[in-house]
Amino acid sequence: MSQLLTPLFPDYELIDSGDYEKLERFGKFITRRPEPQALWHKSLSAEEWATMADASFLKTSSSKSDERGDWHRKRSMPDRWIIEYSYKKMNLRMRLGLTSFKHVGIFPEQAANWNFIYDNIEQQISKGITPKVLNLFAYTGGATLAARAAGADVTHVDSVKQVVTWSRENMENSGLEGVRWIVEDALKFVHREVRRGNRYDGIILDPPAYGRGANGEKWILEENIVEMLECCAKLLNDKHGFLVLNLYSMGLSSTLARTALRQAFGNTGNEEAGELYFKDRAGKELPLGTFCRFTRG
């Protein structure tokens, strides 16, 4: 059965959504940016959106994509700021920033997976295991920090050096240390790990629809995801451990993710699949990606 998951995240709020935009609060600052899945109408007025937003993302007129553009901000809006997220003994401090690709450095819906990662590592440690965790397409490292905060040995892989630097900053802000940083194409890395015979007790996959590796390698989700999962099946511990797969491409369902995982991994153990979402103040539920995850042992 497909699940709907939304995390409890006091430093984040989806205020309103609609007409292909979303109005969000990150800490004490409010942003306005494109959202292709907000098909309905806004609940607040145009004046309320304009008044509330500290920074609004407008796509470049020459760009065909909503992903590229410029931020128009009020004078009180900084370039960078910090938000916090806590769960059990995990206390993360993430640095946010206004990027030219409309992102701010965090996907807050992923906090539901951070809790899952933390809980599973905590359970492994209670059994005397110090888990090795691999985070692929790791972006600014929320899942990496959740795993490290729980006590895992973590390898963080992303092809963009500046993003890995951002992740390291988040680690330091959170009072953590000891993450292994890898700037490389994720698919190339897992192939090498398979050849080396390495194994992991947890794997996190957060692949984009399209991407480029550190040396220009091309990633296309629909073409490369099966190969990636087959490699990960060889890397994940057979007896215990966990895997988290996120898919952001519109049109890719959690059923698709679950079917692909079952084919690659065979017996996936305890399995969950569904959508990550947030509800705005008017009660409209905005889907923000699908997930499939499982545990063994």
Which ranges of 127-185 would DSSP assign to H, the alpha helix? 142-150, 161-173
- Listed in order, the ranges of the chain carrying CATH 2.60.40.1180 are 7-80
- The pLDDT tens digits of the residues spanning 158-189 come to 999 999 999 999 999 999 999 999 999 999 99
- Residue 213, both tokens: 């590796």
CATH node for 105-296: 3.40.50.150
- Return all residues near 267 (Cβ < 8 A) that are at least 6 apart: 296
Q: pLDDT band at residue 214, thresholds of 50, 70 and 90?
A: confident
Distance CA 162, CA 105 (A): 12
Residues 81/12, Cβ–Cβ less than 8 Å: no
Distance CA 277, CA 71 (A): 25
Residues 275/7, Cβ–Cβ less than 8 Å: no
What's residue 252's pLDDT? Answer: 79
CATH node for 7-80: 2.60.40.1180
Beta bridge partners of 85: 92
Beta bridge partners of 18: 21
Q: pLDDT band at residue 82, thresholds of 50, 70 and 90?
A: very high
Distance CA 163, CA 172 (A): 14
- Listed in order, the ranges of the chain carrying CATH 3.40.50.150 are 105-296
